[in-house]
Amino acid sequence: MDNPGAAYTENRMPHPVVQVLVEALRARRVDHVFGIPGDYALGLFHALEESPLTLVNTCDEQAAGFAADAYARIRGLGCVCVTYGVGGLKLVNSTAQAYAERSPVVIISGAPGVGEMAGDALLHHRVRDFGTQMRVFREVTAAQALLDDPNTAPREIARVLDVAGRTRRPVYLELPRDCASLPTSEPLPPPGAIPPAAIDAATLTEAVEEAVAMLNAAARPIVLAGVEIHRFGLQDELIRFIGKSGIRFATTIMGKSVVNEELPGFVGVYAGSLSNELARSEVEASDLVLNLGAMMTDLDTGIFTANLDPARMIAASSDALAIRRHHYPGIDLATFLAALCRAELRSRDPLPPSCHAAPTRFSALPDAPISVARVFECLDTCLTEDIAVIADPGDALFGAIDLTIHSRSEFIACAYYASLGFAVPAALGVAFAEPQWRPLVLVGDGAFQMTGMEVSTAVRYGLAPIIVVLDNAGYGTERPMLDGRFNDVQPWAFAEVPRIVGSGRGYEVATESAFEEALASAIDDRERLAIIHVRLASDDISPALQRLTSHLRERV
């Protein structure tokens, strides 16, 4: 059915609270829940397992949070379920990342029963008092609810999930174990029952008139498309505006792949001195930057090396609109972009081909040692519309800036909060959210050691990601900043991991030709996990990181 929650809304027969929660999630396109059970959540997990949802048991709670985060970036909402204390508090880091990067994840935590908490007993997993975990999650979520009353639970569930949908930020639900099965006959409000705030028409008209006047007067305007275009599902509106206006566009790192990068008018990823010369010159030489949903973080601006004049900028986000130094309260990104699509804009020359329009070529030198730069040159020739790239923070991310992504939303990275270890578990979320995509993970050796055990989860559920481990003997992104033995990690035989988990194939490569052959073999074998262990020099870094460190040295 189109709205699985509608059946319960129309049927007032008593239903357990947990069933109401399941129906509310299904009504919002959630088909999978990631997590790890514990005694305070066993009844909840049993109900989830018996429900139409698919329960995905990961190896670690934080990894479950990363998987749900990636799932949310594609589906519009993700869900992770854990037990109280030892499970919930391990999710704080992944939830903080989801909050910072506007990824709507629903955290569901089992909890001690209401009767158990009444006596203030020293139950296991308790920290300070039974409200500690709720207080912690108030800092990293947009809404919270304790589902301890079946008469209010349906309204509270709908309220919290609607906040996740409206803000694109994580939310928190805590369910005492003696309340999960309590019956409720209260109706479940449908998604979006709470209307958004009204837009002041006069303010919108004034803002659009000022923006259109600036756009029409500009000789070389450019659109800088950011992550909020993706989070709020505005890709079609962005394409419509670019086609109508004839204005070229770039994306930020967080906004990479917000639309197909082969579309006419695309000039590349702009991130200050991290950018290649074409993207940087096109953006910084423009006389007007139309910032649509770009969060100007330190990584999105190349550690604040971006050269953008606020006096020549229109900046629209989900929270605010600023035109030069004029602020228009209450005008959000979706409303503003829709109005621009309706506005009268001057005609311009046809858009030039995308900077990625010409196919890339790679010719391996048989005995040449593989380098970071050549890894990405080879990857760029092999990416297709059914491959989704998931990049871990560091050079795995920086090196991927110039890859050609052939479909919208097929590049996933935590490019602001930048928590190492995101990419391998994120591949689980990507694979379940879009089964037709093959996840290709780019991860450093140090980051793999944090969460790489989730390849076991991939094997358990029949997934076949390709994992490229960039092994430069430690935390290579940090070495140019300040090196020491603290940047070293214990060497692993990464190619042996498939043998340990009982499925898949491992490749160990050190030359260009060996990498090219391993990558082709892994892509052809669609049924099995592949881990390609790429041995690099410890001082080898990507061209993007070289550009950044060179620029920063000039500023010292």
Boundary residue ending a domain (184, 209, 228): 184
- In the chain, how many domains are there? 3
Residue 353, domain member (yes or no): no
Identify the CATH number of the domain in which residue 281 sits.
3.40.50.1220
Band of pLDDT at residue 2, cut at 50, 70 and 90: very low
CATH number at residue 81: 3.40.50.970
Does some domain include residue 190? no
Is a pLDDT exceeding 50 seen at residue 79? yes
User: Is 358 domain-assigned?
Assistant: no
Tell whether 533 and 483 lie within a shared domain.
Answer: yes
Q: Is the pLDDT of residue 3 over 70?
A: no
Residue with tokens 């088909």: 31
- Tokens 């005694």 belong to residue: 39
Judge if 402 and 537 occupy the same domain.
yes
- Write out the DSSP string of 430-471: HHHH-TTSEEEEEEEHHHHHHHGGGHHHHHHTT---EEEEEE
Residues 275 and 407 grouped into a single domain: no
Identify which of 54, 331, 100, 399 has the alpha carbon closest to the alpha carbon of residue 231: 100
pLDDT beyond 90 at 22: yes
Same domain, 298 and 441: no
d(CA 351, CA 248): 7
Residue 447 is part of which domain span? 372-553
Report yes or no: 399 and 544 within 8 Å, Cβ to Cβ.
yes
Provide the residue type at 207 as one letter.
A
Whether 310 and 210 map to the same domain: the answer is yes
User: Are 116 and 227 in the same domain?
Assistant: no
pLDDT for residue 543: 87
Q: Are 280 and 164 members of one domain?
A: no
Rg (C-alpha) for the chain, rounded Å, is 24
Does 356 map to a domain?
Answer: no
Report the alpha-carbon distance of residue 264 to residue 433 in Å, rounded: 28
Question: Could you give the count of Cα atoms lying within 13 Å of 112 in the half-sphere of its Cβ?
Answer: 22
Contact 523, 389 (CB under 8 A): no
| In a domain? residue 351 | no
Last residue of a domain, one of 184, 218, 253: 184
Q: Is the dihedral of CA 59, 61, 63, 69 positive or negative?
A: positive
474 pLDDT more than 90: no
Global pTM?
Answer: 0.94
Q: Are residues 309 and 412 in the same domain?
A: no
The answer to whether residue 18 sits within a structural domain is: yes
Are 128 and 174 members of one domain?
yes
Domain boundary, last residue among 342, 362, 383:
342
Residues 228, 180, single domain; the answer is no
Whether 84 maps to a domain, the answer reads: yes
Determine, yes or no, domain membership for 206: yes
Same-domain pairing of 390 and 257:
no
Q: What is the pLDDT of residues 334-387, one digit of tens each?
A: 999 999 999 999 999 999 999 998 878 899 998 999 999 999 999 999 999 999
The pLDDT value recorded for residue 215 is 97
**Both 166 and 24 in a single domain?**
yes
